Structure 1
Amino acid sequence: MKFQSTRQQVTSSGLTVYNDGFGMVKEKRMVPENKAVTDIQFLDVASEIEADSVLIEGLQVLEKTYSTNFISKEKLLDWYIGQVITVNNAELGEAIKVRLLSTSGNIIVEQLDTGEITIDPIGQLILPSLPEGLLMRPTLVCKIVAVETATEVGISYLTKGLKWQANYVAEIRGSYLNLTSWIQLSNDSGIDFFESRLKLTSGNVNRYKEAHPLHAQARLFAATEEQESFFEEHTFEDYHMYSMARPVTILQDQTKQIRLMKIQGVDFRKVYKVESGSQQAEVRVEFYNNVDNKLGVPLPKGIVKVYEQDSNDEMEFIGEDAMTHKTNQQKVSLAIGKAFDISSESREKKRSRSGHFDYVTYVYELQNKKSESVRIEVTHQVFEQIWQMESSSHDYELKQSNKLEFRVHLAAGKKVEVEFTYKVDRRTEEQIQ
């Protein structure tokens, strides 16, 4: 005996969506007592289900089958090839019995009374009753040991077609910015989700190795006047999870945005960066993700759109950039455009040889046409392997073994040259080559 479990038997629903375009569906369904039941058809499951991922708790399952044998015009016609069907021509007021011969490209039938062959007969095709085993929607079929008592059954599975991403809006207001994060959730799984608990996992899950148990420890975002959170953040293993405080409904083919958090009064700085070959300075907005800066929470990757308040107190769009996952204590640096009034010219000014040393002089000519002073960070890469600085017009920081960074404060309307000389041991370079 078969029992069909539909959405009406669902007592609770949960949904975990991963960064990589898939999700995990978790449901509880009531199965009534019936000792004669040996097969349960779980209807209303995702059409993009990964059949080998199904977990069922509360039943002794002997066999699982995911059926994609759904009703369609093509499948119905194929099913009745060789059988007798009816062609009803309403205009002529007649119904003719014919044998269905083929459905490949054209519908070909044989008239029973004359034996004549007709291609694409005119009229409505009337088929016999629905064939056994042909289903109307995606179905998970389980052969089970008979149910002795009414049972709440847990069903979990992975499905493609679910994805989420974070989007951010940064509003610069004077010396601070407000950061609002939105979650964009999309559903192409082939099923609607109603009033489901929502969790979002940030990080890349390896789909090819055996998963380790995920032990979650919830930590609520610190809610203050400056910071408002709409999700709980969990940490487990090497991932971060965000749990929505209220259930969510998302239908098939639907995309919706849900606010993740809103943080006010974040300290930031606007810096200008140039490198070899730059003609205009790159504009960057930077801030630190730490508690002292009203943050200190895991920020999932996403696109950050930046707006700034102008002299008329109106917000204007000034650029956007992609942000990678940022953990606590990390710096967020967003490239938002090129500075029209800050120019740069760079060149190798001189190269000379003395003994077995090459002496290389490089210069950056910077100009600030703005009406305010700016901070410019000049990044220069030394391509030689072994080198040593001889002289420099400005202080610098060695970021990597071959990367220098000069920090220049340039007053309004001023020009400056950043010049430095380094020497290269040619003997060492020739040995490396």
Structure 2
Amino acid sequence: MIRAIGPFAVALLLAAPAAAQQVEEGPGGPDRVSLTVYNQNVALVEDVRNLTIPAGRSRQEFPGVSASIRPETVGLTGRGLSVVEQNFDYDLLTPAKLMESAVGGEIGVVRVNPGSGAETTERARVLAANQGVVLQIGNRIEVLRDDGVPTRVIFDRVPQNLRPRPTLSVTLDAEGGGRRETTLRYLTSGLQWKADYVAQFDEAAGKLDLTGWVTITNNSGATFSNAQTRVVAGDVNLINAGGYDPYRRPMPTPPRGGVRGNGTATGGQGALADVYVYPLAEAVTVANNQTKQVGLLDAAGVPATKRYLYEVQGFATAEEPSAADVGVLFRNGSGGADRALPAGVMRVYVKDSNGEPRFIGESQIDHSPAGSEIVVTTGEAFDVTVQPRVVSAERVSGRWRDYFRTRYVMEYTVRNARPQPVTVEVRQRGLGRDTEVADQSIEGQMRDARTLTWSVPVPANGETKLTATITTGG
């Protein structure tokens, strides 16, 4: 449409406002705004404006609201105000929309002679504005096209349905006139956030330094300036793939108080209706079509260890040894990390022999309450391997006559080609009913009803054979 119309400038003559209702345009945007951004592409906006409102019934316009607003979630409060009606106008003013609205009416077409600079103006009736603009000028039909001739189009008015930006209009009934503060709350899609972490791991010291970032992405169609912003970790019940159902569960109003800061103290967060709220340290401007990163966490000296893990699924003999998974384990309850951590990707770095940090892997962590054990799996340890073997298997009678159990004699060969001793956690999964364990070379523990686990110490450049007899049902 823009190419078809050509390089024209738009001159506008504004139509006079309708006299049926008294309209107070108000400021161009909120005086104060706060955001509560959830994990699920939805945010709660609190928009505060000081408006001069006449007594009785009037229509107030709120330009600058999100283009992705959910109008059914709008709530407006203010002293002595009641809401009669509200409308959300989201058909935005663009050259293409102006031309479409002019179909059937007349416009002015101004052409400039490239040689002399002389201008000629003609009145034209717009016949169509689909894949191009078709005009009737006098007795001839023309297509307005980009042919290198400077052209501009003059429209007589702006159609009432077109807005320079998304606008919410509300018809109010006010007890008395005067200036008062109004608070507009609504839900919008197009705002989401995620957490990312960077961990600097020092294996020799048994510590890590942890930095967390909140990344906010705004595709809502509005810019929120100097917004007091909170992000919420945890899922709330949403209907219609990102739409919130206001009739099922009330959306909580974000807390006004609380400790502000980067969350390095326990008070930097708060529990609210079974989710965690993280206030950002300072007000931020989140522009439309922008991704912004803000610091969430900065903790040093968190106790951490390396963990080797090998999981065996069912009972079978492996022809070749397999590498154990290697990861970094820590608890977010000490060393400045004594807080709940929202789900996100954690990336781990270690220093090489020259003292330069090198990336060794990343993994997704879940929402983790304070005091949780967190494991970041960074990859496979090719020099630490496990090879399970079924020494024997025989069917035995169960406690009931209608089923049998199997007695497995298992051997797990754990090898370590590193110059330092390691401990490998071996997990045997796939256990069934009435599991019994006997003749263990290392005492194991039931991790859950279907998983048995052992901590196997392995000497440097050596191996350890773990043996156990496991009797289990299907």
TM-score (norm 1): 0.89
Distance 1:351 1:15 in 2: 61
Q: Which runs of structure 2 are paired with 1:112-191 in the superposition (5 Å)?
A: 112=138, 114=139, 116-120=140-144, 123-146=151-174, 148-173=177-202, 174-191=205-222
Match of 2:453 among 399, 405, 429: 405
Q: Given that residues 24 and 53 in structure 2 are in contact (C-alpha distance below 8 angstroms), is that contact kept between their aligned partners in structure 1?
A: no
In the TM superposition, residue 34 of structure 1 has moved relative to its aligned partner by: 3.6
Question: What letter matches 2:469 in structure 1?
Answer: T
Q: Distance in 2 between matches of 1:358 and 1:2?
A: 82
Aligned letter for 1:270?
K
Are 1:248 and 2:284 counterparts? yes
Distance 2:302 2:353 in 1: 21
Question: Retained in 2: the 8 A contact 1:14–1:197?
Answer: yes
Specify the alignment match of 2:96 in structure 1: 74
Q: CA deviation at 1:401?
A: 2.1
Residue 176 of structure 1 deviates from its aligned partner by 0.9
1:302-326: CA deviation from partner (whole Å, max 9, x where unpaired): 1111112333332221111111011
CA, structure 1 residues 359+202, in 2 after alignment: closer, same or farther (shift >3 Å)?
A: closer
For 2:359 and 2:135, the matched residues in 1 are separated by: 65
Partners of 1:132 and 1:70 in 2: CA distance: 11
User: Which of the numbers 43, 51, 68 marks the counterpart of 1:48?
Assistant: 68
Partner of 1:290: 333
Paired letter, 1:193: F
User: For the residues of structure 2 that align with 1:215 and 1:390, how far apart are their CA atoms?
Assistant: 55
- Name the residue aligned to 2:299: 263
1:21 matched residue in structure 2: 41
Moved more, 270-279 or 324-333: 270-279
**Higher mean C-alpha displacement, 119-128 vs 151-160:** 119-128
Q: Which residue of 2 aligns with 1:329?
A: 371
1:17, distance to aligned residue in structure 2 (A): 0.9
User: What CA distance in whole angstroms lies between the structure 1 residues aligned with 2:347 and 2:34?
Assistant: 31
Distance of 2:91 and 2:60 partners within structure 1: 16
Kindly state the Cα deviation for residue 214 of structure 1 after the two structures are TM-superposed.
5.5
* Aligned-residue offset at 1:275: 2.0
Shift of 1:282: 0.3
* Whole-angstrom CA distance in 2 between matches of 1:414 and 1:306: 28
5+ residue gaps, structure 2, are: 1-21, 239-244, 313-317, 398-403
Cα distance change on mapping 1:230 and 1:399 into 2, 3 Å: closer
Q: Deviation per CA, 1:47-93, whole angstroms, max 9, x where unpaired?
A: 11111111111132211000012212332122211112233232384
Name the SS of the counterpart of 2:25 in structure 1. Answer: strand
CA distance in 1, matches of 2:178, 2:123: 50
Could you tell me which residue of structure 2 aligns to residue 341 of structure 1? Answer: 383
What letter is aligned with 1:391?
D
Select 1:372's aligned residue among 391, 396, 420: 420
Q: Contact 2:431/2:449 (CA < 8 Å) preserved in 1?
A: no
Answer whether contact 2:61 2:167 (CA < 8 A) is retained: yes
Shift of 1:153: 0.9
Work out the CA distance in 1 between the residues paired with 2:227 and 2:295: 17
**What is the DSSP-based 3-state SS (H/G/I as helix, E as strand, rest coil) of the residue aligned with 1:423?**
strand
Match of 1:301 in 2: 343
> Contact 1:80–1:100 at 8 Å: present in 2 too?
yes
Question: Residue type matched to 1:370 in 2?
Answer: R
Tell me if 1:211 matches 2:250: yes
- Following the alignment from structure 1 to structure 2, what is the Cα–Cα distance between the partners of residues 177 and 136? 51
CA distance in 2, matches of 1:189, 1:400: 45
- Cα deviation for residue 285 of structure 1 reads 0.9
Structure 1 equivalent of residue 242 of structure 2: none
Amino acid at match of 1:204: D
- Residues in 2 aligned to 1:143 and 1:108: alpha-carbon distance in whole angstroms: 40
**Deviation of 1:220 (Å):** 4.6
Rounded to whole Å, the distance in 2 between the matches of 1:46 and 1:217 is 22
Aligned to 1:12: 32
Deviations 1:121-157 (A, max 9, x none): 6643332222234221110011122561111111111
1:82/1:218 CA distance change after superposition, 3 Å: closer
Judging changes above 3 Å, is the alpha-carbon distance between structure 1 residues 231 and 68 closer, same or farther for their aligned structure 2 residues? farther
CA–CA separation in structure 2 for the residues paired with 1:213 and 1:255 = 25
User: What SS does the corresponding residue of 1:205 show, helix, strand or coil?
Assistant: coil
Map of 1:86 onto structure 2: 108
Corresponding position of 1:103: 129
Scaled by the length of structure 2, what TM-score is found? Answer: 0.81
1:394 aligns with 2:442: yes
* 8 A contact 2:457–2:464 mirrored in 1: no
| Residue 217 of structure 1, CA deviation | 9.6
Quote the Cα distance in structure 2 between the aligned partners of 1:36 and 1:134: 27
SS at structure 2 position matched to 1:71: coil
Give 1:192's aligned amino acid.
T
Q: Deviations over 1:305-364 (max 9, x none)?
A: 111233333222111111101112221111111112112222323223577764322222
Tell me the secondary structure at the aligned position of residue 78 of structure 1: helix
Question: Equivalent residue for 1:350?
Answer: 392
- Give the AA of the match of 2:464: V
Query: For the structure 1 residues 7 and 127, does the alpha-carbon distance in structure 2 shift closer, same or farther, using more than 3 Å as the test?
Result: closer
Residue of structure 1 equivalent to 2:19: none
Per-residue CA deviation, residues 151-184 of structure 1 (Å, 9 max, x unaligned), is 1111111111111111111111322111111111
Distance 1:54-1:222 versus aligned 2 partners, 3 A rule: closer
**Cα deviation 1:13-54 (Å, max 9, x = unaligned):** 211111111211112211125448711111111111111111
The alpha-carbon distance between structure 1 residues 357 and 76, as it changes in their structure 2 partners (threshold 3 A), is: closer
Aligned residue identity for 1:42 = F
Aligned residue type for 1:141: S
Structure 2 CA distance, aligned partners of 1:204 and 1:145? Answer: 37
CA drift of 1:396 comes to 0.8
Please name the residue that 2:225 is paired with: 194
> What is the CA-CA distance between 1:245 and the residue it aligns to?
3.5
Whole-angstrom distance in 1 between the partners of 2:470 and 2:388:
16
Q: 1:412 to 1:152 in 2, by over 3 A?
A: same
